């Protein structure tokens, strides 16, 4: 079955059920930044005690948050200034696929998939700056927390917490308690 049919069939069944209307303002006044890893879907939320409507979620490859004005920082600006978010939680995970991703591996695979050489050359500095910065999941969480805390676009009084989750057991390890100064 193709993916479009599968999605539409699931949606048809889903919409027959009644669901509580949820406000766009998160009940916990928090946002979680996590990796896009498929093992975390419907797994990270219960591991953290999160239910629909509790938090905002931002999912990106490797939960990498750089120190510039990027899409994650822009999303955090909307969360904080428009949607009453007052805390930020960065969650990395063990055995992340980004550990084996490099600018060279991406460039090679893009070339094999007939991506224009000029297009690749135009983004190489960004790929090097992004993919090659990823070290270990715990180090990446610390890096991301620091970049969020130091962002000139975000208030400096927002607690930023950092965790690592085991994608097999769901066990969380606290790396940064944003309440500690």
Structure tokens, 1:
């079955």
176 strand-pairing partners:
162
Angle CA 32–37–43, to nearest 5: 65
| Residue 156 CA neighbour count, 13 Å, CB half | 4
What is the Cα–Cα distance from 159 to 149, expressed in whole angstroms? Answer: 8
Binding residues, as ranges, are 35, 37, 93, 96
What is the Cα–Cα distance from 33 to 60, expressed in whole angstroms? Answer: 8
CA distance readout (Å), 156 to 71, 84, 95: 19, 15, 31
What is the Cα–Cα distance from 176 to 141, expressed in whole angstroms? Answer: 9
Q: Which residue has the tokens 């992004």?
A: 130
Binding residues for Zn(2+), as ranges, are 35, 37, 93, 96
What is the Cα–Cα distance from 62 to 99, expressed in whole angstroms? Answer: 8
């Amino acid at each position: 079955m193709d993916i479009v049919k599968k999605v539409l069939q699931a949606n048809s069944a889903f919409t027959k059920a009644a669901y509580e209307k949820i406000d766009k303002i998160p009940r916990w006044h928090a946002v979680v930044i996590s990796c896009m890893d498929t093992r975390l879907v419907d797994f990270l939320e219960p591991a953290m005690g999160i239910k629909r409507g509790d938090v905002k979620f931002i999912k990106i490859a490797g939960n990498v948050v750089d120190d510039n004005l990027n899409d994650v920082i822009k999303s955090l600006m909307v969360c904080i200034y428009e949607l009453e978010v007052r805390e930020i939680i960065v969650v990395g995970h063990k055995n992340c696929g980004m550990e084996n991703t490099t600018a060279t591996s991406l460039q090679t695979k893009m070339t094999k998939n007939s991506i224009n050489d000029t297009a690749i050359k135009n983004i190489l500095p960004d790929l090097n700056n992004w993919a090659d910065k990823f070290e270990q999941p715990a180090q990446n969480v610390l890096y991301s927390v620091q970049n969020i805390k130091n962002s000139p676009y975000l208030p400096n009084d927002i607690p930023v917490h950092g965790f690592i989750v085991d994608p097999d057991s769901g066990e969380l390890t606290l790396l940064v308690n944003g309440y500690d100064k």
